[in-house]
A and B are shown apart, each in its own frame.
Chain A
């Protein structure tokens, strides 16, 4: 065992010493004929799920690069696949991107080789989840908020606060919200509670919902225990949640714009809002593997991801927001300015993007509660502890 570890470390050290670290591509060559991408399900569509959602075929025809997609279900899977190697790009979320950079699995991006870089949203260009020490390790792909969805028959006016899912109250139809609200079945929901406390209990001194010391963390858990009394079932799967809004009498819950759009398209009485406390959200970045075998195709794809109908149609498909603001209005795809507003494009400032909670945070070394404890404690809260 020890010998093996020693061997592993030695090879690693040799590899690090031999190859220049943080080298970036300086010029594009001939396209290699293919590009291998690790992506979230539904992120790279070639018209096979629904005919009108296709942002791959044209790229393949124009560039000669065949797009091979490996879908991953969790950020951990993405990190594991990138560690294995054999891929050129990954659509990494905020919790995976910094891990990939820290693990030296991705290479810096030469923005001069991506003509559309200047079209990228200024709010995303230097985002901390892909820019480290002024170096860009990726190209923004898509982002979106976790909004509050509500039933318009019960809420005549849009709710202004997340308190409808945290505090017991009587709703517009004269009945209690008990048993009629939902919360996300993932430990990251602790951040939503922390964000609520940030607004309502400033004395706790929370500065980021992802960096909580013991006291702040305890307060968030207490709020979630109170929420447990109101929630019959936590939501995990987007389609189960939609079913719960239709058949289970659920009238309010945190959710993704994806569910809101789909339910609206079925003429269900729902709408969504980002309440006064703000919202949490996700932002994904195309990152390039440090040993990418197809760098030219990878760069061509990154350019394509910004310049083509991808930003527009994917935003419609996923209920997300484009990283290129022009995609909202220039008609390159199906997205419209209203669509962007619905998906929360104008609420960027209110959104705190998902990052992995770590023990070492801005409050100091080991001052914050790390993610693995979020997991076990949230299991306890849902179990009634």
Chain B
């Protein structure tokens, strides 16, 4: 009488192998995402970085694959500096605009909205995100046009002089809202606002009510409580939201193409330089600028504690 072990199938043998060598299983599981991250994601970034150190031949317009810093020096041309500064200013002001608008909304949603109202709030904030971005931007072009609804309403209420005075402000004004930086700013704020509200609301909800009560017990006024308790505790959420609005504005190339003065932003410059111009080195160098700015921004945000809750 002998005990016969059933011959083992492939599955059994694999289980045995993985049991004896757990690291092998780990390697198999994480290698696809690692390959994706390393090759596709970081690899394309590296290719971009390499391109930005090439330059374009002055005469033939052909890319010269030799390492040089000439292309980066070109970024400091007045016209290119204009683009970078313009984009930075727009991103910063859009972020501030979003923060100011989003705070009361997020505060209401976190502190006061209950039940159905809470659902309505989420729906209201998310709804614009579900419709096409392009449709929204084109709709705004019509709203802001010289003969659009805002111009019409101003005419009907006799406030046209106010609108004209606003449009006469040098730098941000223009012929109509849809052809001014002011219009570009309004549309940016509208489009990115949900990305500010949601993280803000999440962080406001995490502020413990007990602390607010303690603050009140210790004799702080509502204003003092807000300044010294609520705001510092909610700041990480504000910063997290600002990372979205800032980086999204910096990379966008569609809104300024449809609404605004046609003056270029970084995204548009990249699009145009790599496309018709064939000046890939300069396009790559331009694309590196937002990466650097965002790295600095993220470092500052980390110091302010935006990632503590991660």
B28 within 8 A of A: no
Which one, B147, B275, B282, contacts A247 given CB within 8 A?
B147
Chain B residues within 8 Å of A372, by CB? 56, 61, 277-279
Q: Do B61 and A383 touch across chains, with their CB atoms under 8 A apart?
A: no
A3 within 8 A of B: no
A234 within 8 A of B: yes
Q: Given A233-B261, A247-B142, A248-B146, are A179 and B175 also a contact pair (CB < 8 Å)?
A: yes
Q: Do B276 and A384 touch across chains, with their CB atoms under 8 A apart?
A: no
Q: Do B59 and A379 touch across chains, with their CB atoms under 8 A apart?
A: no
CB distance from B51 to the nearest CB of A (A): 13
Size of A's binding interface in residues, CB under 8 A: 39
- A344-385 vs B, Cβ < 8 Å mask (1 yes, 0 no): 000000000000001110000010001110011101101111
Chain B residues within 8 Å of A384, by CB? 82, 263
Q: Do A375 and B276 touch across chains, with their CB atoms under 8 A apart?
A: yes
Give B149-182 interface residues, CB cut-off 8 Å to A. 174-176, 178-179
Q: Given A233-B261, A247-B142, A359-B59, are A379 and B276 also a contact pair (CB < 8 Å)?
A: no
A185 within 8 A of B: yes
Which residue of A is nearest B183, CB measured? A233
B79 within 8 A of A: yes
Chain B residues within 8 Å of A1, by CB? 65
A205 within 8 A of B: no
- B62-93 vs A, Cβ < 8 Å mask (1 yes, 0 no): 00010000000000011110110010000000
Given the complex of chains A and B, what is the CA–CA distance between A384 and B174 in angstroms?
A: 13
Q: Do A383 and B179 touch across chains, with their CB atoms under 8 A apart?
A: no
Given the complex of chains A and B, what is the CA–CA distance between A233 and B179 in angstroms?
A: 6
CB distance from B37 to the nearest CB of A (A): 24
Q: Do A366 and B59 touch across chains, with their CB atoms under 8 A apart?
A: yes
Chain A residues within 8 Å of B83, by CB? 379, 383
Chain B residues within 8 Å of A233, by CB? 178-179, 260-262
Given the complex of chains A and B, what is the CA–CA distance between A303 and B262 in angstroms?
A: 43
Q: Given A236-B257, A247-B148, A370-B59, are A76 and B262 also a contact pair (CB < 8 Å)?
A: no
A116 within 8 A of B: no
A158 within 8 A of B: no
Q: Do A385 and B272 touch across chains, with their CB atoms under 8 A apart?
A: no
- B264-275 vs A, Cβ < 8 Å mask (1 yes, 0 no): 100001001101
CB distance from B256 to the nearest CB of A (A): 10
Given the complex of chains A and B, what is the CA–CA distance between A367 and B61 in angstroms?
A: 14
Chain A residues within 8 Å of B86, by CB? 383
Q: Do A75 and B276 touch across chains, with their CB atoms under 8 A apart?
A: yes
Q: Do A232 and B261 touch across chains, with their CB atoms under 8 A apart?
A: yes
B301 within 8 A of A: no
Q: Given A232-B174, A370-B59, A383-B86, are A185 and B146 also a contact pair (CB < 8 Å)?
A: no
Chain A residues within 8 Å of B269, by CB? 379
CB distance from A356 to the nearest CB of B (A): 9
Which residue of A is nearest B274, CB measured? A76
Which has the most chain B C-beta neighbours within 10 Å: A75, A243, A359, A383? A383
Chain B residues within 8 Å of A240, by CB? 141, 258
Closest 6 CB pairs of A and B: A380-B79, A179-B175, A375-B277, A232-B179, A232-B175, A247-B145
Q: A370-B58, A383-B82, A383-B263 are in contact. List 17 more A-B contacts (CB 8 A).
A: A1-B65, A232-B179, A233-B260, A237-B257, A243-B141, A246-B147, A247-B147, A248-B146, A359-B61, A366-B59, A371-B278, A375-B276, A376-B80, A376-B277, A379-B269, A383-B79, A385-B82
Please list 6 pairs of residues, one from A and one from B, whose beta carbons are closer than 8 Å in the complex, sorted by A's number: A185-B262, A247-B145, A360-B60, A375-B277, A380-B78, A383-B86
